[in-house]
Each structure stands twice: as C-alpha cells, then as structure tokens.
Amino acid sequence: MKFTAQQIADILEGTIVGNPEVEVSKISKIEEGEKGSLTFLSNPKYYPYLYTTSASVTIVDNGFKPEKKITTTLISVENAYEAFSKVLAFYNQVKDHKIGREAPYFISDSAKIGINEYIGAFSYIGKNVTIGENVKIYPNSYIGDNVFIGNNCVLFSGVKIYSETIIGNNCKIHSGTVIGSDGFGFAPNKNGSFKAIPQIGNVIVEDNVDIGSSCTIDRATMGSTVIREGVKLDNQIQVAHNVEIGKNTVIAAQSGIAGSTKVGENCMIGGQVGIAGHLTLGNNLKIQAQSGISKNLKNNLVVQGTPAYNYSDFNKSYVLFKNLPKIVSKINHIEKELNTQK
C-alpha cells in the first residue's frame, strides 16, 4: 500500500518541506533508506545520513534546517521519534488488517464470534467459545471449549488456548504460546513414582496484555492463574500454576515463575530470572538478569544475584569477589611476615 507525503503529514499533523506528492510504500532506517521508503531523524549522530539517504520522505523535528542540499522530502513535527512510532503503529495496523475466514477451519456451532473477525486456515474453535469484535486468529491456532476472548485481540499463528481460559480486550499473543496447559503438579507414591494431580482451574489474562512467542502459562490447580492488566511478557517465559502477576509488570525472556507465587505491580524483571514458588514479591521491584529469587521481597527494591539481594550491596561484594585471589595472597603474605617475626 502506498501513501503520499501529504497523507502522512496529515496523519502526523506535520508540515511538508519538499514534494507533497512523493509516494512511499515501506519503512527504513535513514542510513539504509531507498527510493519509496519513509524514515526519520531525531538523533544528531545520524544527521550526516540525511544528505546521503535515498529515502523519499524523512520525518524531522520542527525547526530542523538542512545545512546542505537534500533529495528527501521532509515532514516537520514536534517530536520526530514519537511521530515515527505513530507511523509504525499505523503501518502495523494496515499490514495486519485481515478480515474473513480462510478454509479449511473448524468452528463449533455453539461458538459465538463478533464482527470483523479474521480466522486463518487450519484453525480450531471449540464448543461454547465466545470471541469479541475485531479479533484476528492466524492460521494453525487452537481455541478450546468454553474460552472467552475479548475485543481487538490478535492471536498469531500456532497459538494454543486451552479450555476455560479468559482473555480480556486488546491483548496480543505471539506464535507458539500455550495458555492453560496443566500445571506441574505431581504427588510422590511410596514406590518412588509420581501421580498427576488433576489441574481443574483456569487462566485469566486481563486487558492490554502482550505475550511473546513460545511462552507457557499453566492453568491453576484450583482457582486461576492470573495475568493482570497491562502486563508485558517477552518470549520464552514460563508462568506456573496459580501464579499472579500484578498489573503493568514487564518480564524479559527466559524467566520462570514457580507455582503460587504472587508478583506485584509495576515490576521490571530481567532475562533468565528464576523465581521460586509460594513467594510474595512487592510492587515496583527491579530484578536484574539471571537473578534467583528464593524469599519474599518488599516494595521498591532493586536486587541481583543468586540468591538475590540488594543491588548496591551486590556491586560492592562483586569487587571483593573479583579481587579475592589478590586479597588471599596479601593475607598469606602478612601471615608469613608475622610468623618470621616470632
């Protein structure tokens, strides 16, 4: 799809310097810009590329004046970075705008689906499923019985939603993610084997949640595993049964949360963090990458390490860890001197 510089300027409420009729059909970095592409310039580090780029249209901050001749058409806005982000969102909206149903698919007669839906090929929608308006379900997806999905959600290819799951409005779930599979619950037998404990709960995902690719969110043993409003999960994250993640918490890739742990609101959790089960973590926490959390944490802490402790103390301790051979050597030297003086 092509857009003129004038159409883009109208969307961004910007001012054109150059040819308003020039067309663009793709987006590029300014240093890699080519004819027919749209880019932006906000970091002074990239100013030189403005004079060499072949991009047809460039978004710049108000008041920017080229020092040399340029070939690109400029759109001046209050904040070029924010304006370009708005363009990216609009671009994604246009690119992903799909409506209709692609055969073959299976939809139960008892399922209810709102208007403007997209159902990709080889998708399965089970009994008593309720799906809201403007929902996009990409090919090879599975939605089990009694699932509820709100409005304006996107399920990318290969997403699996087990039965009884509830998903709110404006959620995005990326390829390969599984929501609602059995929690890891097994009871040991006398002979050393294990017997599975039935997992009869569900998963609740509230509004405005983004879940990356290949995440697994287990159903509760009883009750619900809950992902609160505004949570953002990166790729390859494990959320165990009966976990609750507070609103607006963000978690980076390859982190895992064991069963029945409660994570607070507005937390920032780095990659490869491991959190033990049955813990309560406070609000506004910052947990550095590769930390291991084995005890409850109060509000507003910054922690690191395994087991994790105060970030400032960790840095001070690390200096000692790093210099430990030298410290030991000095101690040994002092001991030898003291022994020779006896």
Active-site positions read 241
Cα 226 to the center of its chain, rounded Å: 16
| Upper half-sphere CA count for residue 329 (Cβ side, 13 Å) | 4
Q: How far apart are CA 51 and CA 67, in angstroms?
A: 9
Angle between helices 324-341 and 311-322 (to 10 degrees): 60
Within 8 A by CB and 6+ apart from 266, the residues are: 246, 247, 248, 249, 283, 284
Report CA torsion sign: 236, 237, 241, 246: negative
Distance (Å, whole) CA 16 – CA 74? 6
Contacts of 125 (CB under 8 A, 6+ apart): 105, 106, 107, 108, 111, 113, 119, 131, 137, 143
Q: How many CB atoms lie within 10 A of CB 16?
A: 19
